[in-house]
Amino acid sequence: MAFESINPANGELLATFPAWNATELEQALSQVAAVTPAWAANPLEQRCTLMRKAAQILRNRRDELATLITLEMGKLLTESQAEVEKCALTCDHYADNAPRYIADKLVHSDAGKSYIAHQPLGTILAVMPWNFPLWQVFRFAAPTLVAGNTGVLKHASNVPQCALAIEQVFLEAGFPEGVFRTLMIRASQVKGVIEDTRIHAVTLTGSDSAGRQVAATAGAALKKTVLELGGSDPFIVLEDCNLEETVSQATTSRFLNAGQTCNAAKRFIVVEAIASAFLEKFKAAVDSLQPGDPMESSTTLGPMARNDLRDELNQQVTDSIAQGAAAVTGCTPQKNKGAFYPASILDQVAPGIRAYDEELFGPVAIVIRARDENDALKIANDSRFGLGGSIWTADTERGERLARELQSGCCFVNGMVKSDPRLPFGGIKASGYGRELSWHGMHEFLNIKTIWIK
């Protein structure tokens, strides 16, 4: 079997890559295991220098890598360029801050000297998705490699060119061969890699069903996991918000990357007093989005990443309408060549409707009407997910109070949810556990060791 790189905008086959057999996988794992001790022993300063070089390569090759992202998974070219820039920023962040993040921490105790040391675990397996094919990997790889771990990547099967390009960036930066390897393997081979004694921990970004499988396998092998899973982030609109700004941010947050973002706003929970006005302006903004070739600057909504994902989304929408949701706009598949789905809004979404209970991973916004702020918060927390959320109000103290009560890994007041290398990112409930980014993400894959000296 082969991995196929297909342009979702037109269905064109771009390239094929053979999947590895058992021998090829064994050779790669052996190579990584052989270089792991020497990489851990490499001075931190040298590891940081190499990561800065990786950042510079990303910037130098921004347009080339962005074009590859867009061709393989359909993201708007401008969004792909921003993704590459963010990867470079994150590489620089860890190169600049790692000495502070992982420095020994002196602790006063009954010892003559006691402190906490932060030491690498070994080789970390990353199982990554296609929706941010570079960013998802670099936000794991930058802190992991700088900390002295090695990394192996099992990327999504529909972005093989991006997967291989990431490995080349590290090699071009001067990282020793084997410090980071892309494994060209099928999903069925992941279980065996997790169980391999040369793998010391696992990080996964993906669906909660995939997270449960990875966690079960890693748990049986007593290996740590970090899971960043699905989300159905609430976007709470209160009656005193700046309506124009709120609608503008709502449109961006939902339809960025054709709605295929874990921490995108998905549930628009609007208090009844402002619901009609919000929906009128929101529909106008959504209807103004221009679908088309993601390489063209005039396009503001690209295709979804694959035809099967578009069809799955449409089934969720169709079922939700049959269960009582109201189609405000869109909600009917386009007949264009490619994996396009129209920018859509569902109103009158209530418990018992698929769109209320499930994550809709595509360009569909759902509107849920609330009586007041207390009802809005209750609805927001009535979800098995808990990744992020946002609150829109002119009263920032009110927003902060509600933010503390929202069941999520992060909450933004008057701003759309985003990830930032300076701040930890991750979820609770079915959105996973553990954190990426900031010093928290670096510490996830370090041995936090107590050293006590009399």
Considering the domain 2-229+431-453, what is its CATH architecture?
Answer: 3-Layer(aba) Sandwich (3.40)
Whether residue 162 has pLDDT greater than 80: yes
Cα distance between residue 433 and residue 450, in whole Å: 24
Whether residue 336 has pLDDT greater than 80: no
Q: Confidence class of residue 339 from pLDDT cuts 50, 70 and 90? A: very high
241-283, pLDDT tens digit by residue? 999 999 999 999 999 999 999 999 999 999 999 999 999 999 9
209-245, pLDDT tens digit by residue? 999 999 999 999 999 999 999 999 999 999 999 999 9
Please name which of 360, 231, 365 lies closest in space to residue 286, comparing C-alpha atoms.
365
Handedness of CA 241, 244, 249, 255 (dihedral sign): positive
Per-residue b or e along 219-240, where b marks 16 or more CB atoms closer than 10 Å to that residue's CB: eeeebebbbbbbbbbbbbbbbe
Whether residue 158 has pLDDT greater than 90: yes
**Phi-psi category of 47—alpha, beta or left, where left has phi over 0 and alpha has psi -120 to 50?**
alpha
24-56, pLDDT tens digit by residue? 999 999 999 999 999 999 999 999 999 999 999
Considering the domain 233-420, what is its CATH architecture?
Answer: 3-Layer(aba) Sandwich (3.40)
Looking at this protein, which amino acid is placed at residue 310? R
Q: Confidence class of residue 91 from pLDDT cuts 50, 70 and 90? A: very high
Q: What token pair was written down for 417?
A: 């949810």
Q: What mean pLDDT is predicted for residues 377-384?
A: 98
| Burial zone of 18 (CB within 10 Å; 0-12 exposed, 13-18 middle, 19+ buried) | exposed
Cα distance between residue 103 and residue 90, in whole Å: 19
Q: What mean pLDDT is predicted for residues 408-434?
A: 98
60-70, pLDDT tens digit by residue? 999 999 999 99
Report helix angle 44-60 to 77-101, nearest 10: 170
Could you tell me the pTM of the whole model? Answer: 0.97
**8 Å CB contact between 376 and 269:** yes
Pairing verdict, β 123-127 and 201-205? parallel
Residue 287 — φ and ψ, nearest 5°? -65, -20
Please name which of 12, 27, 40, 23 lies closest in space to residue 123, comparing C-alpha atoms.
40
Q: Tokens 């005193």 sit at which residue?
A: 240
Cα distance between residue 366 and residue 384, in whole Å: 16
Q: What mean pLDDT is predicted for residues 303-329?
A: 97
Average pLDDT, the chain: 98
**Phi-psi category of 116—alpha, beta or left, where left has phi over 0 and alpha has psi -120 to 50?**
beta
**Phi-psi category of 227—alpha, beta or left, where left has phi over 0 and alpha has psi -120 to 50?**
beta
pLDDT of residue 326: 98
| pLDDT above 70: percentage of residues in the chain | 100
pLDDT of residue 1: 75
Report helix angle 160-173 to 135-146, nearest 10: 30
Q: Tokens 């670096």 sit at which residue?
A: 442
Please name which of 60, 81, 383, 90 lies closest in space to residue 234, comparing C-alpha atoms.
383
Q: What single string gives the DSSP state of each residue in 258-308?
A: GG--TTSEEEEEEEHHHHHHHHHHHHHHHHT--BS-TTSTT-SB---S-HH
Same fold, 2-229+431-453 and 233-420: no
Q: Confidence class of residue 337 from pLDDT cuts 50, 70 and 90? A: confident
Q: What mean pLDDT is predicted for residues 174-197?
A: 98
Annotated catalytic residues are: 228, 262
- Domain residues of the chain, as ranges? 2-229+431-453, 233-420
Residues 6+ apart with CB under 8 A from 356: 267, 320, 349, 350, 366, 368
Q: What mean pLDDT is predicted for residues 140-150?
A: 98
